[in-house]
Structures are given as C-alpha cells and as structure tokens.
Chain A
Amino acid sequence: MIPAAFDYVRANSVEDALRLLTEHGEDAKLLAGGHSLIPMMKLRLAAPAMLIDIAGIPQLDGITASGGGVTIGALTKHAALAASADLRKHAPALWDAANDLGDPQVRNRGTIGGASAHGDPSADYPAVLQALDATFTLAGKGGTRELRAAEFFLGMFETALGANEMLTRIAFDAAPNSAYVKFHHPASHYAVVGAAVALTLSGGKIASARVAITGIGDAAFRAGGVESALQGVNPNDAAAVKAACAGAARGVQARADTFASASYRSAMADVFAARAVAKAASAR
C-alpha cells in the first residue's frame, strides 16, 4: 500500500516544528514514531501534504519518575516506558499499558505522545492517562497551555490539540496503587475493552478511586458512578468490588463490530474494571 505523495522535512526543535506547522497550515502533520499515522496514510485515510518529522528533537524524550511525580516527554517510546523500573514502581498502570501495547517492534518505534495525539478510541493510554489524571502540555506559537487528560480526549480520533499545536509533555502525580488490564483483540492487540484504575487506600479501604475505560465508546471516559461506589470498599472483598463496578459503561453509546457486540463490550467494562481494582490494590 502506497500513501499519497507528500513533502518531508525534519524539525530540530519545538520552535522549529511550530514554525513549520504554522507555515504549512492544515496540510501538515507532525510525524513522531509514525505507528498511528503511517498505517492511516497507507490506507489513504490520511493524506497530509507535508510531514514534519519531530523524532530527532532531543528534549522531548525521557522519563522522570519518583514518589513526587512522573514526567514523560512526548517522544518517549513505548519500549522505554515498558523497561522503566521507576515507572513500574510509581505508576504501574502506565507500565502495564506500555508492556501490553502492540508488539516489540511497535513498542520500539511508537511514542506516548503520538499515540495520545492520535485519539484512537481503542487505544490504551487514553484510559490510563485519565485514571492518572495526567496533565498534557501543549506548545503553540503563543506559548504553552496545560490540559487535563479528561479535557484532551474528545472523541473518535479527536483531541483538544489545535492545528498549530504540539504535545510536548505528560505529567501526573505518582500512583503506586494503579493498574491497567485489557481484553486484547487477538489480531490488532488494541483493547476490545481496557480498564485503568488509580486508588488511594486508607485502613484497608478505598479512600478514593479514579476509573477510566477505553474501547467501548468514541473515546475513553471516566466511570464516575464506579468511582463513587468504590469509596469505602475493601478492595479484597471481590463481591463488593464487583457490585461497585456494575454499570461502568452506563450512559455510554457502546460500539459494535464483528468481534464484540455493544452489550458484550459494556458487560466486559464491569468485569475489567473489577479486575483492575483488584490488581491496583495489590500493586506495590
């Protein structure tokens, strides 16, 4: 499959990339690892006239993770996240997702920023980053702005990223009791359903919970009803967790395809949310 013709240029810095984006307008797309964009271009679902390759910008690659918080450059590859012992300790939900995503070759090439900016409704990070309540830093010509994950993911392949903006950094507080579990599509490795959970525990009970689900609707979403129902629940009480996770996808228009019906997807949201709660509670 051959994509439509385009011009190619490399940006050496964020400023350079933003200048090129402004110069070429809506015909231009940023290219990082290319593992979301290139497949779409090969199918001619995307046909940008100009690709601005940002993969070589040095300041945007790296992970800083401690008890104080986690900061990740947008160009950090999935493989680097999957190999980070610090990330595993301080945000196991994201570590789980990075290890579970695609396959080794895809993880060697794809980036967290590229995958997030793509806004795929079945991607893993949109759920994880909402459960971690991450802050996205977007650079534009007028400076930078910060958005919370829930404000960033808007719909199917739709994010709050402006045409002349670039996602540079993702940051969040450490969440040692967090987890992500997913029901793999056996061929694509995307999430048929994926559930991300971040808990704070107090005296053996859940003091607060953030729960986000991907793979069901047009975009990953926070399951607010489940979050409130989990408060005060003993995470080791499987029946209580199951009851709290019931109706995780309530109010969401579930998608259906040849692999999973809408009602099956919704039912699995409850099951995987409960599994993620159990896993998050036992993470340490």
Chain B
Amino acid sequence: MQIDLTVNGNQTFIDVEPRLLLVHALRDSLNLTGTHVGCDTSSCGACTVLLDGVSVKSCTVFAVQASGHEVTTIEGIGTADSLHPMQEAFWTAHGLQCGYCTTGMIVSAVDLLKRNPDPSDDEIRAGLEGNLCRCTGYENIVKAVRAAGAAMRAGEARHSVNELMPIHPPTVEPPPSGEAIIPQQLQEAKV
C-alpha cells in the first residue's frame, strides 16, 4: 500500500507491504542507512529515530503506522557541513568506538535534551536507558551529552567536519605508499 512519510522535512510517497518495518523503509526504500538495525528486538536502540519529535525504536514500528507522520533520522539531525552540537560532542568527547550504536545514541540524546536541557549525569544515564553500547562504555557518552547540553545552552555556533579536522588531526600520517604501519615494539619483537 502507498504511504506518505515526511522524512527529515521531505514528503515522500512509497509503496510498502504492511509488514515492512519503519527501519527497513528508511534504509532500503529511502537509502537512509544512518539508522542501524542492532538487536531487532526493541532492546538496543540502534534504530532510534524521532517520530513526530519523540524517540522511538524504528524496528518496532511498521512503516504504515508512520504514514502521515514526521520522521527525523540521524541524517536530519545534522550534516557534515553543519554538525549538530550532539554530533560534535560525541566526536570531541570520544563518545564512540565502533560507531554502530552512535546514531541511535545521538537521536535519543537529542530527544533527552529537548525535554531536559540541563540533565544531571544520572538523568543522562536514565534518558539513554534504551540505548546499548557494547564497546565505548557509557562514561564518554555521558560526557558527550553533558558537553552538547552546555554548547546548546550557550547557543554555540555549529561547525562543519572540515572545521573540526584541524582541531583533531590524525595522530599518525599514513605512509604515502599505503603499506601497513607496524608499531615499533612489534618491529623489534621480530615475530
């Protein structure tokens, strides 16, 4: 059946089977692959998007249920040219390692700050209870949300990825030939 989805401000009409989950409509029909499928059982929050402005798990919503409603994905939160303060804070506070949970984490954190612009650490942890991270640990994620809250309350300007690059340059320049970088200790071990 045809549904009418407004995604990141753009109204689109797509044909879906009623059983198609919203996350698959976003990823497969609309090519918005920033929303991830993690557990697929409403637990991990990797698939979190905003539906009419509130966070939901898009693996537990049928696309047909969202017809006539507004969806915001990570692609609508910010762009490489104008990062959302939450995206910048996850970068600068090192709130991620593998990045799989990150987009859902950021969408949930944006929703949290909308309801509570200056949350305590405990409130941040409770607000992100529906998002699981299996590598960074939550310490830096909490720091990132705190930093984003401070930046948003101060009304700081948004930055682009290119503007932030010089602040956080790669620590090791890759060799021009493209060969592997072997750490000194490993070279000395002569294995």
Binding site for B on A (CB under 8 A): 1-8, 31, 34-35, 38-39, 41-42, 51, 53, 55, 79, 102-106, 108-109, 187-188
Contacts and interface: CB of A to CB of B under 8 A. Distances in A.
Interface string B44-67: 010010010011110011101100
Nearest to B63: A8
B65 A108 contact: no
A181 B40 CA distance: 29
Interface in B47-100: 48, 51, 54-57, 60-62, 64-65
Contact of B55 (A8, A38, A41, A108): A108
A51 B57 contact: no
A34 B61 contact: yes
Contact of B62 (A38, A108, A187): A38
Given A104-B127, A105-B56, A34 B19 contact: no
Contacts, number: 72
A53 B48 contact: no
Interface residues of B, number: 28
Contacts of B45: 103, 105
Contact of B19 (A2, A53, A104): A2
Given A8-B1, A104-B111, A109-B56, 18 more contacts: A1-B40, A1-B41, A2-B21, A4-B19, A5-B18, A34-B61, A34-B65, A35-B42, A39-B41, A41-B19, A42-B41, A51-B18, A51-B62, A53-B65, A102-B130, A104-B112, A104-B127, A105-B42
